[in-house]
A and B are shown apart, each in its own frame.
Chain A
Amino acid sequence: MIELTDVSYSYGGGELLSGISMALQPGSFHFLTGPSGAGKTTFLKLCYADLHATAGRISLFGEDVRGMDRDAIARLRRRVGVVHQDCKFLDHLSVAENVALPLTVAGRDVHAYADNLMDLLTWVGMTEQVESLPPQLSGGERQRAALARAVIMDPEIIIADEPTGNVDWEMSLRLLSLLVELNKMGKTVVIATHDLNLIRAAKAQVAARVLRISNRQIQLAGADL
């Protein structure tokens, strides 16, 4: 599904990731952990082609992203749902419009998906905030709305970058349960976090693999987690 072969990424003369080779299998659940600045976000961006590797090969759904033009990358991103740490909403649109944005940009008739949209907002517990604007939401509400937007296109992969970074523990567990539920529906889930308690809580619910980034390399973390 996502395959990296000897991938390196450099920026500003320094190498952030070096010679990484790994594969994320369909239906798997991965945590990506490591200290701040280790390259977790960079790794995730490479996975959804927001950044391009300076060396090596990244394959998404069997296709090498290096040879893709921008249109192909846009189509590819519709198959990958991303929850950003800062959510990246359009502040002038309502929650419902933001959640439906991937449908809109894909040229789908949003009205035909009204029921799906409401089901999704119910699933993340956001039916009360449908008409709210993003700046009116709390941290947890923003993350849940971002998760709803990430899954509206029924993607095969869900990537979440520090989804619990700005929420309390109770909300973290709620978001985790939603992501676990998605994984049980067959979605591949990759979560970047430095919250070890969250990883422990997840391991009690799902067979999660933990990858640790350090010294520009990614390694499978041991059982100490």
Chain B
Amino acid sequence: MSISARLMAILRGDTEADRAVPPTGFTAQLTLFSAGAMGFLAVFALALSLATGRLAERWSSELARSATVRISAPAGQAEAQVLAAVRVLETTPGVASVRVLDVDEQLALLTPWFGPDLPLEALPIPQMIDVVEDSSGYDAEGLRLRLQAEAPGAVLDDHTRWRKPLVRAAGRLRGLGWVAIVLIAATTGAMITLAANAALAANAQVIRVLRLVGARDVYIARAFVRRFTMRAFSGAAVGCVLAMLAIAILPRASEAGGFLTGLGFQGLHWLWPLCIPPLAGFVAFWATRTAALRSLRELM
């Protein structure tokens, strides 16, 4: 019988067979609670992984094609150097557009740090030039040399210096999210194995009687496997629903919110947590079946 057919048989159940093994109230409640807690944590790990994935992608795509030229020059030379730098940039192959930031835009950039009443004209603020490259890209080292020659106060910042570690960190965070999900699944498996072993030990006499009347190991194992699979599935389902509700009521993402308010699911990503209860059920099925058949072999 294939795994899927087995799972279907488990979901259908066998009332007579299920009754052969007495219910274990406390173990059942603990299993349900543990599966629920694991489901809850798994949803958050999933949300973390997906959110950091989105973040890494956004940082990569948004910053990959933009650069900034910063010109710091004495007051008398600033304008001339800006014009020179714009000329260099406009004639550089791979540069799609060049735009000198006006006073209001520069003020908007500084407002979060210095407040809205900043006397920008009284401060030696460098002039910023926004550069967008085309799909072919430009030669950053060549551009730096040309800028140095034409506008000595110009510094090209292609964001690579701080973009790469951020993207790398986001990627690692996403990886850690998946590792957390794997660890949660493994812990669920270990917890179910312990609970199944305890249930098997507590029912040693029942198992003995079942064997004496002709029960095969697979039949005995099935009674335990179905219980633990259903408990893990239903516990994880409750945990998932609660976690999804908790994520749904998190504050919305905003410009100022940054990463924390972006933690959550977007669009079809809301379907991902629905995979967790079946995954918990499958882990429980596999763990209980393995534990039960091993214990039954040892009970020979």
Interface residues, chain A, with chain B CB atoms under 8 Å away: 50, 70-71, 74-75, 77-78, 82, 84, 88-90, 92-93, 97, 101-102, 104-107, 110, 149, 153
Contacts and interface: CB of A to CB of B under 8 A. Distances in A.
A200 B208 CA distance: 34
Interface string B205-231: 010111111111111000000000000
Contacts of B300: 70
Interface stretch (B14-22, B35-43, B95-103, B187-195): B14-22
B213 A149 contact: yes
Contacts of B20: 90, 93, 101, 104-105
Interface string B266-294: 00000000000000000000000000000
A105 B296 CA distance: 16
Nearest to A97: B19
A75 B214 contact: yes
Contacts of A75: 214, 216
Nearest to A82: B212
Contact of A106 (B209, B212, B214, B218): B214
A74 B206 CA distance: 15
A77 B212 contact: yes
Contacts of A93: 19-20
Contact of B212 (A70, A84, A107, A110): A84
Given A90-B206, A104-B17, A74 B22 contact: no
Contact of A102 (B19, B213, B217): B213
A74 B208 contact: no
Closest 8 CB pairs of A and B: A105-B215, A78-B214, A77-B214, A92-B22, A102-B213, A74-B216, A104-B16, A88-B209
Contact of B214 (A84, A88, A105): A105
Given A77-B212, A78-B213, A92-B22, 11 more contacts: A50-B212, A70-B217, A70-B296, A70-B300, A74-B216, A88-B209, A92-B19, A101-B209, A101-B213, A102-B214, A153-B214
Contacts of A77: 211-214
Contacts of A71: 216-218
Contacts of A50: 212
Interface string B6-42: 0000000000110110100000000000000000000
Contacts of B17: 104-105
A105 B19 contact: no
A137 to B, nearest CB: 16
Nearest to B296: A70
B22 A105 contact: no
Nearest to B297: A70
Contacts of A97: 19
B210, B216, B300: residue with the most chain A Cβ atoms closer than 10 Å: B216
Contact of A88 (B19, B22, B212, B217): B212
B88 to A, nearest CB: 83
B21 to A, nearest CB: 9
A110 B213 contact: no
